[in-house]
Homo-oligomer: A and B are copies of this chain.
Amino acid sequence: MLKLMQFTINRAAFVKELNNVSRAISSKTTIPILTGLKIVASDTGLLLTGSNADISIETLIRSDDPDIGLTVDEPGSIVLTARFFSEIVKRLPEKTMTVSVKDGFQTEITSGSAAFNINGQDANNYPHLPEVDAGDAVTLSGAVFKELISQTVIAVSNQESRPILTGVHFVLADNQFLAVATDSHRLSQRQIELPTPSNAAFDVIIPGKSLTELSRMIGDDDSDVKMQFSENQVLFLLGDTSFYSRLLEGNYPDTSRLIPKDASTTVEFEAPELLAAVERASLLSHESRNNVVKLTLKPSDHQVTIFSNSPDVGNVEEALTPKTLDGEDLEISFNPDYMKDALRSFGQSVIRVAFTSALRPFTLVPTEDTSNFIQLITPVRTF
């Protein structure tokens, strides 16, 4: 029988790549062919593609990689239902598997004595991925990029009412790479100086969800991530994998003026200690309608206390032991969930919290590097 495509591959290696591309494939889509995985077999290797309305992922499995044991017997292409194909591949009995496409896009998947025959679709009907040119590219190490995403994406908005705030604002100018996100109640900002001087410049807004998905694909081997743009797309290159995301259109609000320059009260904590106390206080605030925790700072008495209550359930009060405490006495209330997100982003660092007044936003920075990473939280008025 005529073979329209045929290849044999190491199953474990194939599953790994399949899982990566599957991140872009949703079984809920209005375009039926996008529930499929596109496979193109050529002399170079296999090109796997998955896509949804927001992101597309393409990965090349090379024929010349001995760990992958890929043999392409017949070049060709096919689209197979991704979820179902993945389940089959994961449950096959042997170490290698063969995929063979016959007339009418009937696809046979064999491994040992197990043979699956499933219906495929013509790969010519699969949409084309956007073209992204190589101008204004920026390269960062995977670890730095992953950290930058995790530190900022916590502050993006989940509300579609202001779509622009569901993205992270990325600005490159004068060799400084700035990432900012805000949902209008809090803000996260991280700045990085490029390791190698570059003339590139851009000002784009990337959906937070795309960045979260990208972050999961960046491995622990700390390989480089290269980032380049077209008018409405960004392309991240991770080795042989291309990750495309649409950009958000519109002007991002000017966030630089939101960050206060001065402080009237400052306090320093081990981030994990303050986090644990806020988590305890939030047990009570979550039982209350307004979800608020109160921090009382009395530099005059060397005292900091955290307090929360719920009329139905009870209250919690805890004396905290800051590393330093300076300035004016202050009582300030805030949403503990914003505080928890912010504190987690600092890991094990010592942080400085700076307040100006009970109604003005306050900031958190690591004491080690006070100018390149900042979390800002707007307090809640309780009187």
Contacts and interface: CB of A to CB of B under 8 A. Distances in A.
A348 B315 CA distance: 54
A318 interface: yes
Given A91-B279, A280-B92, A118 B314 contact: yes
B280 A315 contact: no
A88 B283 contact: yes
A132 interface: no
Interface stretch (A109-117, A139-147, A156-164): A109-117
Interface string A305-331: 000000011111111110000000000
A84 B283 CA distance: 8
Given A81-B313, A84-B313, A91 B283 contact: yes
A93 interface: yes
Contacts of A314: 106-107, 116-119
A88 B319 CA distance: 17
Contacts of A320: 113
Interface in A311-355: 312-321
A249 interface: no
A197 to B, nearest CB: 48
Nearest to A309: B117
Given A88-B283, A91-B276, 13 more contacts: A84-B313, A88-B316, A91-B283, A93-B277, A93-B280, A93-B318, A113-B318, A113-B319, A114-B316, A116-B280, A116-B283, A118-B313, A119-B314
